[in-house]
Amino acid sequence: MDFCPQALRKFLAYKVSIDGQPPVKKVDGDRYESMVSHQLKQGIANTAVFIKDSHGYCALEDDLIDLDNWTQNKDKILKELNMPLLSMNVEDMLTQFEANMKVKYGQVNQAIRSGENTSLKTHYNKQGELLKWTLPYVRLDDGINNPFYEKLRVSSIGDILKYSAEATGFLKSFSHLQPKYAKSHPDPEVIHACVIANATGVETKKMKAISDVKEQDLDRVNKSYIRYQTLSAANDVIMNHTAKLLIFGEYNLADYGVHASVDGQKLATKYHTIKSRHGKKYFGLLKGVVLFALNGNHLPLCLKVIGANQHESHFLLDIVESNTSDVEITAVSGDMHSINRVNFALMYLFGYRFMPRFTQLCDKSDHNLVCFDEIDNYAKHLIKPSNKVNKSLIIKEWDKILRILASLAIKKTTQSHIVSKLSSCKKIDPTLKALIAFDEIIMTDYLLDYIDIKEIREVVQGSLNRGESYHQLSSTIAKVSGGRMLNGKTEIELDINADSIRLIANAVIFYNATILSALYQHYLTIDPEKAKEIVRFSPVAWQHINFIGKYEFYNREHIVNIHEVINKLIGEFEIDISSISRM
């Protein structure tokens, strides 16, 4: 009863009189049990109560490297991680940020006063007082379904998968669940049929009716060869071949390397699963999940199926670190859902540039910018800090912060679990407070650049546009059977659905990129300007691909001849490409 609020004690107690004696207070056992359960539920939700043997509700301390092990082997652990920033002296790091921050505040405000920053718009009232300032966005063209693709002959998705399989050899990734008992490898056509069925939500019986593949072959291959691991490996094979194309390096948005983006796509689920949640805005009366994708240079590098009730920002570091392709990421953008109170710090210390797109930038600037010196020193600036960095706390707690980072790096548990606890914990201890303070430094450093440099905003927007293009392609694939709905009955089957969609999308992108790369290589020496225009064509296009109809997988006489397609395009390529790109 001690932990119950005072107002509830009357509710839990009642008076009884025994043998004519004066009434005494008794506790209602049923009410008390209900109250305890309620308090435990509230305590778990508010991270005040932990369950040690639980996976998701244990204390943060249980997810970290053992304290004794950390104390004795700290230097060895950090050396094995090979993460330079974790081995750097924190005082030197903060000194560098302090010097750079003073300069940036001056540069940003000087550019505004001089009119050099032409994008920033100020709004004043009748008395001449500044109300707010805005930094409008100009949406960039994502280039999907360019009219250029109308010159190509329409091919079925089965033909595209056949070509991709021959060109990349991704079918070798589909190993038997029990290799010891596998007598022979299945026909490629059956694997293609299974992938399409899982991606489009077509049931086995229906696939049999609309294709030339036998039902027993579909069932056998689906159970023995189609798994999340084999699909993921096949996706990596296709993307690695795409990354080797000459044109791939030209897709870089900046000179520092591949600038990726993360975003979630909501899809309804046909069956109820643990991750399925209601969302009237996205699913109506149905339930659904989120397909959280990492996209770099038009390629869907990684995909995670998360619950519609889970915050996307908790999975940012997890999905970036889960990229197993040969494409190395330098920077990552996202929308406001990718931001929490620790992601700037975590991404920076793990060696990535976190560059999200901000909305309501004026409000963020007024409340989230920090400085190392006195706030009054910036009183005359338009862009100014509202808080002072707690430098001493960061230095004092740095060793404990390193322990958290090392635990994340060695993946003692899933990174999303630790990040979710760090970003949503109600009770903030000094270590978490210090990590949040360091996060504010990194965010301030980025925000000042974001406000001042137009090119950064354009790169961020361009990267997010590419991610949105992939979502449009994946949505087209998913709704082939009549609706944007995944038909997996379990979490494992939902992962298979999602990665099957990604495999088909990667095959389409590889096919398009191969054509564009050949044209780019052809015109690079004879007409460099035309080559530059070809780079601007997005490989995410599907107007020349037929996803529906009757699938003839065993029609082996007709396989896409990529050389014939390219030679025909070069021979008939009389259209002014520059006029196409402006359409």
DSSP string, 486-524: E--SSHHHHHHHHHHHHHHHHHHHHHHHHHHHHHHHHHH
What is residue 140's predicted lDDT score, i.e. its pLDDT? Answer: 64
How far apart are alpha carbons 527 and 512 in whole angstroms?
Answer: 21
pLDDT band at 570 (very low <50, low <70, confident <90, very high): confident
- Cα gap 250→298, rounded to integer Å: 12
pLDDT exceeds cutoff 50 at 443: yes
**CB crowding 363-389: b at 16 or more within 10 Å, else e:** ebbeeebbbbeeeeebeeebbbbeeeb
Q: What residues does 288 pair with on adjacent strands?
A: 268, 277
Least confident of 27-31, 81-85, 272-276, 284-288: 27-31
**pLDDT above 70 for 12:** no
**76 Cβ contact list (under 8 Å, min separation 6):** none
**pLDDT of residue 447 exceeding 60:** yes
Residue for token pair 């025909």: 568
pLDDT tens digits along 124-162: 777 777 778 888 776 666 667 778 888 888 888 988 999
Alpha-carbon Rg for the chain in angstroms: 28
User: How far is the CA of 387 from the CAs of 110, 365, 371, 390, 444, in angstroms?
Assistant: 21, 11, 7, 9, 11
Question: Which of the four pLDDT bands, split at 50, 70 and 90, describes residue 538?
Answer: very high
For the segment 445-471, the average pLDDT, to the nearest whole number, is 94
| pLDDT tens readout for residues 323-361 | 999 999 999 999 999 999 999 999 999 999 999 999 888
| Type of residue at 289 | V
Mean pLDDT across the stretch 165-186?
86
Q: Using the predicted structure, report yes or no on whether residue 416 has a pLDDT greater than 90.
A: no
State the pLDDT at residue 42: 76
| Average pLDDT estimate for 429-437 | 92
For residues 419-444, give the mean pLDDT. Answer: 87
pLDDT of residue 5: 56
Rounded to whole angstroms, the maximal C-alpha distance in the chain is: 111
Q: Does the predicted model carry a pTM greater than 0.85?
A: yes
Average pLDDT over residues 508-531: 92
**When comparing pLDDT for 10 and 237, which is higher?**
237
| CA–CA separation, 353 and 345 (whole Å) | 10
Query: pLDDT category, 1, cuts 50, 70, 90?
Result: very low
**pLDDT at residue 3 is higher than 70:** no
Phi, psi angle pair for 492, to nearest 5°: -65, -45
pLDDT of residue 403: 93
Measured CA distances, 292 to 260, 424, 483, 495, 502 (Å)? 13, 20, 19, 11, 12
Highest average pLDDT, of 45-54, 172-181, 258-267, 425-434, comes from 258-267
pLDDT range class, residue 55, cuts 50, 70, 90: low
In this prediction, residues 388-415 reach a mean pLDDT of 91
3-state SS assignment for residue 109? helix
| Average confidence (pLDDT) over 108-132 | 83
Q: Tell me which of 147 and 545 has the higher pLDDT.
A: 545
**Out of 257-266, 518-527, 548-557, least confident range:** 548-557
- Tokens 């104390």 found at: 71
* 131 φ/ψ angles, rounded to the nearest 5 degrees: -90, -50
Cβ-contact 549, 480 below 8 angstroms: no
Spatial distance between the Cα atoms of 202 and 106, rounded to a whole number of angstroms: 60
Mean pLDDT of 43-67: 74
Residue type, 532: K
- Please say whether the beta carbons of 569 and 544 come within 8 A: no
Model pLDDT, residue 326: 95
Average pLDDT over residues 417-445: 88
Rounded to the nearest integer, the mean pLDDT of the chain is 86
Length of the chain: 583
Given a cut of 50, whether residue 195 has pLDDT beyond it is yes
Residues 309-325 have pLDDT tens digits of 899 999 999 999 999 99
Whether residue 2 has pLDDT greater than 70? no
What is residue 422's predicted lDDT score, i.e. its pLDDT? 82
pLDDT at 582: 43
Judge contact between 108 and 448, C-beta under 8 A.
yes
For residue 370, the cross-strand partners are 387
pLDDT of residue 64: 85
pLDDT of residue 578: 43
Q: Express as a percent the part of the chain with pLDDT over 70.
A: 87
